[in-house]
Every structure is written in structure tokens, then in C-alpha cells.
A and B are shown apart, each in its own frame.
Chain A
Amino acid sequence: MKIRKLLVKARSLLDAKERKSKVKKKSIKHIIKKLRKREKALQGRLKKEPSKSKSAKISEQINLTHAQRKKGLKVLKKLKNP
């Protein structure tokens, strides 16, 4: 490993702010993944649902999950390029 790389690693380990931001990025990524999974599961349920009223409820949930996922991506982008 080159010295510069080592220095960057050491700095990121010692810099509390950077460490915090790393943890935050990891957490947001985890949530985005969970939301994507939920959205897919809801879409699967929507395809199988015969009742119109229930389908409408599931669609609303999909919209909400989608909006949250989009917001998560925005937050992540901001964290990556502050």
C-alpha cells in the first residue's frame, strides 16, 4: 500500500467527523436496500391482489416507499458530495 493511501486511511480512522459520516452513509445505504426490497415485495403483492380497494392501498404504500427511497438517495448523494 502506498504511503499516501495509508495516510488517507489513518486520517479517516482518526478524524471523528469523517468516521461519523462513514457510519451515516452505511446506515442510509442499508435503509435504501431495505426500502427497495419492500417496494419489490409490495409490487409482487399488487400483481396478485384481485380486490380493487386493497390494490389501491398497496399502490399507496408503493408510492410512499418509493418517495422515501428517493429521499434516501438524495441524502446519500449529499453525504458523498458535501
Chain B
Amino acid sequence: MIRRLFLPSFFVLLAYGFWVSPDFNEIAAGVAIFLLGMLALEEGFKAFTGGVLEKLLRRTTDKLWKSLCFGVVSTSVMQSSSLVSVITISFLSAGLISLTAGVGIIFGANLGTTTGAWLVAAFGLKLNISAYAMPMLVFGVILIFQKARHMKGYGYILAGLGALFLGIHHMKEGFEAFKDSFDLTAYAVGGYPGVLIFALLGVLATVVMQSSHATLMLIITGLAAQQITYENALALAIGANIGTTITAIIGSLSANVDGRRLAGAHLIFNVVTAAVAIGFIYQLTGLVDTVAAWIGIAPDNYTLKLAVFHSIFNGLGIVLMLPMIDPMVRFLTRTLKPRARTTAEARYLNAANRGLPDTAIEAARKETLRLYDQASEVIAEGLSLDLDEILSEKSIEAMVTGARKPVTFDVDERYNHNVKALFAQIVEFVSNAQSTMSPSQSNELFALRAAGRDIVEAIKDTKHLQKNLSRYVASDNENIRREYDQIRMNLAVVLRQLDTVRRQGHDSSAILSLDSIKVEMKRYDKALEIKLNNLIRERLISAPMSISLMNDSGYAYHVTKNLVKMGEVLFSTSESALKDAEKSVSLDEAELDELAQEN
């Protein structure tokens, strides 16, 4: 009820404010234009997340100091800690970075966001930035109408920056005019009650606008127009830092447990830092005065002093919390536990990583690998073998001849229970994620879906194979038993070789070595034809046996073919250009036939 009434009442309140005061109208419009600029900026940077940002993130998270620096630099460039934290959460939920690295980035982003205050306090208020805003908006919008994705990206960034400048200009103008008719400083509250009240106001303003940047701009422009006292401005800035975590929390709702843990770390960092800053506000103010005097800032230049405070306050947070990262990660891992999942539930697919093309592809790849893990277990059991033994160093021949128990488990039931539901989630994810992708990225995603289909086909063929295999694996007829053992051995070799290639996915020559399975498959098929003729002619197996063997070797052929096709796509971790090159060097049917005949 309250929720439903909130928005209309807020609108009525704002409309009344606009009617009473045109200056308030201008300030609010400034905030709205600023937020519009932030949205455009985020949209622009998202256009470049299909590569550069993700590659950078992957390379810069192996050490804590690197993640920290990445957080500082990326937030300084993009001027949005929210965007950086949302991208970090989606990376974490796709399993691309560790929680510690994610926390490092978030800490860095907190420091990076202080550059905004510096820029506006140092230049934004002195220069007539609206003069730059107009051409930026015009050029930006023209670029947005271009077809090329990166041009659109530049357009959004330019138009976004233009809107930010224009927004700041309107806020500044509004406060200047407001000053003549109304004195907001009359509502200033001194002492600790004032600090607490204004910190709370800062939280509220940031939660409503979902941007600490916008709150900070309001504070700075208000401070410059002497509509807020310096002490109250500091408290508002502290509040804005807590309020900004709301974006990360909202972003983590659709993410997995690691994403929620990261949002938790963000909240802990900002709340602890704010609590320390509020507790020691007077000591911090003294420190700001000293630093400001040291770097040559005039004692009455409160806007720049606010920027100094913002940096010191966030820097202090990093110094305080950096040694606590490991205990904090342990605490969050202990407190926020993943909910119990069935094997059929997706681990990496979620709305958080669906919007970022490369992350979505990686998430789909990891989930399809899980699908393969489920499937290889079903296939191994369908052959009356143990997957762990197949993937060990043990002799496959000894393993196969030693396992003569007929298969008792139901392949169909296992398929419906573990595989089908997971595959359905992959298919749904791929369909939804590809709408924001470039054609080459979509193709990569579709190839992964096709790999999933190959896995499912392989299971279905195993099911057909299992019926006779179960009967002949312990048959008294040594000849038919030997032939079925050969089929089991061939498939076990395929599973083992696929596992070896999977572990060397970064090496194109390993992926290409899968061609050897194809050659082997062709050779076996040819040899079986001759062998089958001999077995029938010499009456070593009955006619129904020979038909079963013919059909089942066909099923085994298809299992192998589908698994190899899947492996070529799923196990290759190379970039798309290398993947295409792998395909063009891989041997075609005629070349494979030639090799199969050669040896």
C-alpha cells in the first residue's frame, strides 16, 4: 500500500515544489539531466564491454593490488562506481573472477569515484561547462544514429558527458538563483545530531537517485552557492557513500551467491567507513584543513575541501579494510551460503551476466561444460563403466573386460532428471542473451547451444546402445561379447581423449587432435564391415546378433561423432578468430578418409 502511494505522492510533492519555486524546478531539472547523462554514459560503456573491459578485468585480477588499481582507474574513467560494481558482480556470478578480486575492485571503485568530486570542484564550477555541453550533445546524438556499434558507443558517451555538464550547469544556476529567495542554511543543524541527520539525508537522496555522483554534484553546487554548510555537506557525502551500495544490492538480487557476497562486502566497506568517518568527523575535518593548506587550497574554498574530504575518507576506508579482506571474505562465505541446488539447476546462468555479451558467452560455455559432465557420467554408466576409472591412467582394456555387470540404471530417467532441465535453461538463456549481441557473438552462443544439442543426442544414442549391450556384455558367446567390448573400449577411449583435450583447451593443436578420433572412427567402421562378414560366414554369431551389432556400432559411431563435434566447440578457449582458424585447418571428410586408408 505504502509502496503504491509513494510514487504518486512524490510526484505531487515535486509538482508543488516546481509550482512554488522555479529555482527548485531548475535544480531538479539539473539532477534529471545529470541522471540522464549517467544512463547514456553507462549505455556507451556497455557498447565496449563486449571485449576491452572484460579482457582487462580478466588480466588485472590475479593480484589484489591490480584489482584495486583496476577499480580506481575504471571508475575514474567511467565516472560511475555503480556500473563498475554491477559489471564486477556479473563477472563474479559467471565464475570469471574470485570473490577477493571482486572485493578489491569494489574497494578501488570507492576511491575512483572521488575523482568526480575533484573534477567538478576544480573545473566544473569555475569554467562555463554548459558551453562545452551543447556541441557534445549535438555530436553525440549524431553518432548515436550511426549503424556501427562502437560509433553508437562513442555517441552515448559524448552525449552522456554533455548531459552531465548541462545538468551540473542547471544545478549551479538553480542554487545561485535560489540563494536570493530562500536561505536553506537556516535549516542547518550543528553538532553530532546534524551529522547524523544529514548523513541520513545523503543516504535517502542517493537511494532515490541511485547515484552517489548525482548526490555529490548537488552537495557541491549547493555548497558553492552557500546553501549548505560545510559540516552538513561532509555528512551528506558520508551518507551518499552508504546510499550508493543500493545499486550493487539491486544488481546482486539476480546474481548467484558470489554476487550477493560481493554486494555484502560493498555494504560492509561503506558502512564501516561511514561509521568511522562519523565517529571521527572533527578529527577528519582537522586533517582535511591540514592537507588542503599543504596543497595550497584556500581556507574558504569549501568545494575543493569537500573533494579532499571525500578522498581522505574513502582512502581511509581502504587503509582500514584492506587487511580485513580475507577475514571479510571468510565471514561472507560462512554467512551467505548457496542454497541447495539440484544438479539440473544452472549455476552460472543468471540475469546479471545476460546483458554483457562476452560474460554471457563464458557463462553459457561453463554451464554447457556442466551439461557435458552430467552426460559423460550417464554415457559411462550406460557402458557399465565408471567415469572416474575411465579418466584415470588405468588400462581401458582391463577395465572393460573386468566390468561385466549388466547396466541396471535407467538412462531415460537420468536424462530427464539431470540433463534435460539443465539443457532447457541453457537454451532459454541463449535465446534471451543473444538479443544484445553482435552477429559474431551470437554465432558463438548458437555454437554453444548446438554443442548442448550434440551432448543430448549422444545420450539418446547411448540409450539405444544400452539395450543390447546389457544383454551381450555377459553373453556366453565369446565372439559377440568381444565385439561389444570393443565398442565399449572405443567409447571409453573417446571420453578419455576428450578429457585430455579439455584440459588443454587454450592450445589449438590439442583441439585439432580431436581429428584423430574421427580417423579412428572411420577405420573401425571399415574394419567392422569385414569382420562382421567373417563372423556371419563362419557362423560364429547368429543373424539377430549381427543385426544388433550393426545397429549398435552405428549408435556408437553417432555418439563419438556428436561428442567430437561438441568438444571442438566447447573445449576451445581461444578467441573467436582463432576458433575460426581452427575450423579451417581441421580436416574435412575426404581428407579424413584419405588418412584412414593410409595407415
Contact = CB atoms under 8 A, between A and B. Distances in A.
A65 B519 CA distance: 12
B513 A64 contact: yes
Contact of B585 (A56, A60, A61, A75): A75
A61 B513 contact: yes
B49 interface: no
Nearest to A36: B509
A67 B578 contact: no
Interface in B543-599: 577-578, 580-582, 584-587, 591, 595, 598-599
A27 B580 contact: yes
Contacts of B381: none
Contacts of A71: 585, 587, 591
A59 to B, nearest CB: 8
B507 interface: yes
Interface residues of B, number: 21
B581 A34 contact: no
Interface residues of A, number: 24
Given A63-B595, A63-B598, A64-B595, A27 B578 contact: yes
Contacts of B585: 28, 31-32, 35, 68, 71-72, 75
Interface in A62-82: 63-65, 67-68, 71-72, 75
A63 B598 CA distance: 9
A32 B585 CA distance: 9
Q: Taking chain A's interface residues, is the majority helix, strand, or loop, or is none over half, making it mixed?
A: helix
Contacts of B507: 34
B516 interface: yes
B513 A31 contact: no
Contacts of B582: 31
Interface string A14-42: 00000000011011101110110110000
Interface string B213-246: 0000000000000000000000000000000000
Given A24-B577, A64-B587, 16 more contacts: A27-B580, A30-B578, A31-B582, A34-B507, A34-B508, A35-B512, A38-B509, A63-B595, A64-B513, A65-B513, A67-B591, A67-B595, A68-B585, A68-B587, A71-B585, A72-B585
Question: Which 8 A-B residue pairs are closest in the complex by CB-CB distance?
Answer: A27-B581, A34-B509, A38-B509, A72-B585, A27-B577, A31-B508, A23-B577, A27-B578
21 contacts: A27-B577, A27-B580, A27-B581, A28-B584, A30-B578, A31-B508, A31-B512, A37-B509, A38-B509, A38-B513, A56-B599, A60-B599, A61-B516, A64-B513, A64-B515, A64-B516, A64-B595, A65-B513, A67-B595, A71-B585, A72-B585
Interface of B: 507-509, 512-513, 515-516, 519, 577-578, 580-582, 584-587, 591, 595, 598-599
